[in-house]
Amino acid sequence: MALNSYRTGPDEKGHFGNYGGRYVSETLMPLVMQVEQEFKAAMQDEKFLAELDELNRQYIGRPSPLYYAERLTEHLGGAKIYFKREELNHTGAHKINHAIGQVLLAKRMGKTRVIAETGAGQHGVATATVAARFGLKCTVFMGEVDIERQKPNVFRMKLLGAEVKPVTSGSATLKDAMNDALRDWVTNVHDTFYIIGTVAGPHPYPMMVRDFQSIIGRETKEQILAQEGRLPDSLVACIGGGSNALGLFHDFLDDPDVQMFAVEASGHGVDTDKNAASIAGGKPGVLHGNRTYLLQTEDGQIEEAHSISAGLDYPGIGPEHVWLHEAGRVNYVSATDDEAMEAFQLCCRTEGIIPALESSHGLAHIIRTAGDLPKDHICVLNLSGRGDKDIFTVAKELGQEI
């Protein structure tokens, strides 16, 4: 179906076609509606936008460079590859973009405490960072299993003054951390703002996180026009919940000649029970406040996701992505753990950049396809995070002790 615009969603109740919405308990309903009102007002408020802009430049270090990956391009022998260097942001990933926006909103709403869920710890670190910057109390929910896997980030959060609460409910991973964050929020509605870490959750979160992240695409457009004098032919980003992908894509959705590829984590393979590819292996359902594609059993029970990258290890995906998938505007593909590991190492050696395992999934798609593309094909990868946090996982995978 061809639409006049892919950028008009969501509707006023937060639906992207059949997806999205507000599936939360009644206690939270008035609160999420208030968040929506405040967000809309803030985005019309010159003072709010000026403060956001100032923080983006001086605190996060924006704009992030659009970098021509020359040696990788030569190595692959086809398309011209650019990296949007979100890994150079303060805290080392794109997560800070929406964390800073949401903390400003929390402050505007007079909230004194923020909470967040985290898997790999990147969103938790970003939230702890902005909470410290604005003097707000911060509690981060993290699955017991992930706390063990991501010790450096746990310590980072603590250094930043956050309380890290181990989650033991359910399967003790990211989805359960989100459940516990919702439980905390419903109990502390009066003083607490929930900083959600991706383009999912009840409306307005998918829209709000997208709007704070879409600075990635706006900058990219300006930079590629300056550097190449034209729009790119393709955009590539990894996708778990989908915040970095939508951040890059959103500004280009109505440019019909720009192809887009979102790369899901297929773990051991989409045909195995160890993957995190909600588009490839999931079906529609309702979880964490929105209707979207979910990895689930016949009986509607949510399945655990698996990916080598903890940041993609989630059994759902943002609702706008499902809509873009069904509309055929964005291509959803996948990469396995092994492909991501190869991409990770190639990036280290050809570009001198240690990429996050998450971003390595996007790169894996480029490695698979770039060689067959003409040399004048311009491809932009969202290098969404740096891989310092992943060195322990990678070492283990390579059978090396550090």
Place of tokens 């980030």: 153
Helical ranges in 275-356 per DSSP H: 278-281, 319-327, 337-351
Instruction: Report 218-237 residues binding another protein (CB under 8 A).
Output: none
Neighbours of 128 (CB within 10 A): 29
Stretch that binds another protein, among 23-31, 75-83, 323-331, 383-391 (CB under 8 A): 23-31
Give the DSSP letter string of 124-148: HHHHHHHHHHHT-EEEEEEEHHHHH
- Regarding 306 and contact with another protein (CB under 8 A), the answer is no
Residue with Cβ nearer another protein (188 or 331):
188
Tokens of residue 367, six digits: 């490695």
Site for another protein (CB under 8 A): which residue of 272, 300, 371, 376?
Answer: 300
95 tagged catalytic = yes
Binding to another protein by CB under 8 A, coded x per residue (else -) over 97-126, reads: ------------------------------
Q: How far apart are the first and last CA of the chain?
A: 52
Tokens of residue 63, six digits: 């704009």
Helix orientation angle between 205-213 and 29-42, rounded to the nearest 10 degrees = 30
Site for another protein (CB under 8 A): which residue of 6, 16, 22, 216?
Answer: 22
**Minimum gap (Å) between residue 303 Cβ and another protein:** 8
80 tagged catalytic = no
- Positive or negative: CA dihedral 151, 154, 159, 160: positive
320 tagged catalytic = no
- The number of residues that bind another protein (CB under 8 A) is 39
Name the burial class of residue 254, with classes exposed (0-12), middle (13-18) and buried (19+) by CB atoms within 10 angstroms of its CB.
middle
Place of tokens 């873009």: 324
Residue with Cβ nearer another protein (256 or 300):
300
Interstrand relation of 283-287 and 289-294 (parallel, antiparallel or unpaired): antiparallel
Instruction: Report 160-199 residues binding another protein (CB under 8 A).
Output: 169-171, 175-176, 178-179, 182-183, 186-187, 189-190
Residue with Cβ nearer another protein (17 or 170):
170
Give the C-alpha distances (Å, rounded to integers) separating 267 from 35, 136, 336. Answer: 35, 37, 5
Site for another protein (CB under 8 A): which residue of 7, 13, 57, 396?
Answer: 13
Site for another protein (CB under 8 A): which residue of 253, 287, 317, 341?
Answer: 287
**Minimum gap (Å) between residue 294 Cβ and another protein:** 7
Instruction: Report 354-393 residues binding another protein (CB under 8 A).
Output: none
Which residue out of 87, 117, 264, 320 is catalytically annotated?
117
Element containing residue 98 per DSSP (H, E): helix 95-108
Residues 270 and 7: their CA atoms lie apart, in Å, by: 30
Which residue out of 309, 334, 384, 389 is catalytically annotated?
384
Residue with Cβ nearer another protein (27 or 112):
27
Site for another protein (CB under 8 A): which residue of 9, 10, 21, 197?
Answer: 21
Stretch that binds another protein, among 85-93, 94-102, 295-303, 320-328 (CB under 8 A): 295-303
Residues 62 and 401: their CA atoms lie apart, in Å, by: 36
Which residue out of 95, 107, 175, 389 is catalytically annotated?
95
Q: Where are the beta strands (DSSP E) in 10-96?
A: 15-16, 19-23, 66-68, 80-84
Residue with Cβ nearer another protein (232 or 316):
316
Site for another protein (CB under 8 A): which residue of 6, 24, 205, 253?
Answer: 24
User: Which of 154, 46, 62, 181 has its CA nearest to residue 389?
Assistant: 154
Instruction: Report 255-284 residues binding another protein (CB under 8 A).
Output: 284
- Regarding 132 and contact with another protein (CB under 8 A), the answer is no
Q: What is the DSSP letter of 65?
A: P
- Regarding 26 and contact with another protein (CB under 8 A), the answer is yes
Stretch that binds another protein, among 37-45, 94-102, 156-164, 293-301 (CB under 8 A): 293-301
Helix orientation angle between 357-369 and 337-351, rounded to the nearest 10 degrees = 90
Give the C-alpha distances (Å, rounded to integers) separating 36 from 29, 41, 85, 105, 292. Answer: 11, 9, 30, 10, 20
Which residues are bridge partners to 261 per DSSP?
A: 236, 331
**Residues near another protein (CB under 8 A):** 13, 21-31, 169-171, 175-176, 178-179, 182-183, 186-187, 189-190, 284-289, 294, 296-302
Residues involved in catalysis:
95, 117, 384
